[in-house]
């Protein structure tokens, strides 16, 4: 799996702190490592997008748009059908732009605020109009774009503050100084996801070997064994409380076939998934 750095690899030929790009993809991306050097609004037009970040995961459809903090993420992109290409209008902006905005409007964080790395918001009429306007701006020359994009950035931020509060802004510039807490948070947040050790180590900005050593230090277990236990526990929950069939969930929790899932489940719980569900 290759790694893409955005917006650096889009060849936007701009040194401006705010940039726009009309992104169209004709092929589905099953899972892609993304390094965002800038914070990014993704105004999804066609398709669905799933983003795995350090402390957040979001599944977004084209009735929503997302805000993703600069950093490492894993992304899955899908179009609805062969005739509708995946499309998203991307608005990149630096942390410097965020700090300048906070100073200009003299903002203060809310007490006891909780921060996330990925946000999703539903479209409304105003945001739909805003998206059309920045798409038109993307067709202008770079020299004309700059001042207009500065104004459009303030516009979208002021609107979201009025409708959503200020937490999302401070999430963009928040940094956890506690590396242990951040590592544990990433592991716990993704314990039910089908992420490989390489993908998890990417999210923690570690090599695979460093990730395994750090994992064993904090969880007193190997990653493979620990994740298997947690996913089997999640499977038991789905069987008992969500009336899911074993054939519906084995892939969801990371097994390639139903037979392997049934065997692992029986070793842990002493009965097959079907018998567990009936008890």
Structural domain including 137 reads 3-173
Can you give the pLDDT at residue 2? 79
> Which of 173, 196, 221 is the last residue in one of the domains?
173
CATH no. for residue 110?
Answer: 2.60.120.280
160 and 191 assigned to the same domain: no
Can you give the pLDDT at residue 128? 97
Can you give the pLDDT at residue 250? 87
Can you give the pLDDT at residue 242? 76
159 and 188 assigned to the same domain: no
135 and 192 assigned to the same domain: no
Can you give the pLDDT at residue 14? 66
149 and 27 assigned to the same domain: yes
Can you give the pLDDT at residue 176? 55
pTM of the prediction?
Answer: 0.76
Low-confidence ranges of the chain (pLDDT < 50): none
Can you give the pLDDT at residue 177? 56
Can you give the pLDDT at residue 11? 83
Tell me the residue length of the chain: 279
What's the domain count of the chain? 2
Can you give the pLDDT at residue 253? 83
């Amino acid at each position: 799996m290759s790694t893409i750095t955005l917006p650096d690899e889009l060849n936007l030929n701009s040194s401006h702190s705010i940039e726009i790009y009309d992104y169209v993809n004709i092929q589905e991306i099953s899972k892609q490592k993304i390094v965002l050097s800038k914070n990014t609004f993704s105004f999804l037009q066609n398709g669905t997008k799933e983003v795995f970040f350090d402390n957040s995961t979001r599944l977004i459809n084209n009735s929503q748009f997302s805000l993703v903090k600069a950093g490492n993420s894993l992304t899955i992109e899908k179009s609805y059908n062969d005739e509708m290409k995946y499309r998203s209008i991307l608005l990149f902006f630096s942390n410097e732009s965020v700090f300048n905005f906070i100073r200009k409007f003299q903002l203060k964080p809310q007490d006891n605020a909780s921060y996330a790395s990925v946000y999703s918001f539903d479209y409304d009429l105003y945001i739909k109009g805003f998206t059309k306007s920045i798409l038109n701006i993307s067709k202008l020359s770079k020299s004309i774009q700059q001042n207009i994009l500065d104004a459009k950035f303030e516009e979208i931020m002021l609107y979201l503050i009025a409708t959503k509060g200020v937490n999302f802004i401070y999430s963009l510039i928040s940094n956890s100084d506690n590396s242990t807490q951040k590592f544990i948070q990433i592991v716990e947040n993704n314990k039910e996801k089908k992420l490989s050790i390489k993908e998890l180590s990417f999210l923690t900005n570690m090599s695979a070997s460093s990730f395994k050593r750090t994992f064993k230090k904090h969880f007193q277990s190997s990653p493979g064994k620990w994740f298997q236990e947690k996913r089997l526990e999640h499977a038991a929950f789905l069987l008992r409380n969500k009336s899911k069939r074993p054939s519906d969930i084995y892939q969801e929790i990371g097994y390639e076939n139903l037979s392997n899932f049934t065997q692992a489940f029986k070793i842990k719980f002493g009965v097959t998934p079907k018998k567990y569900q009936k008890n």
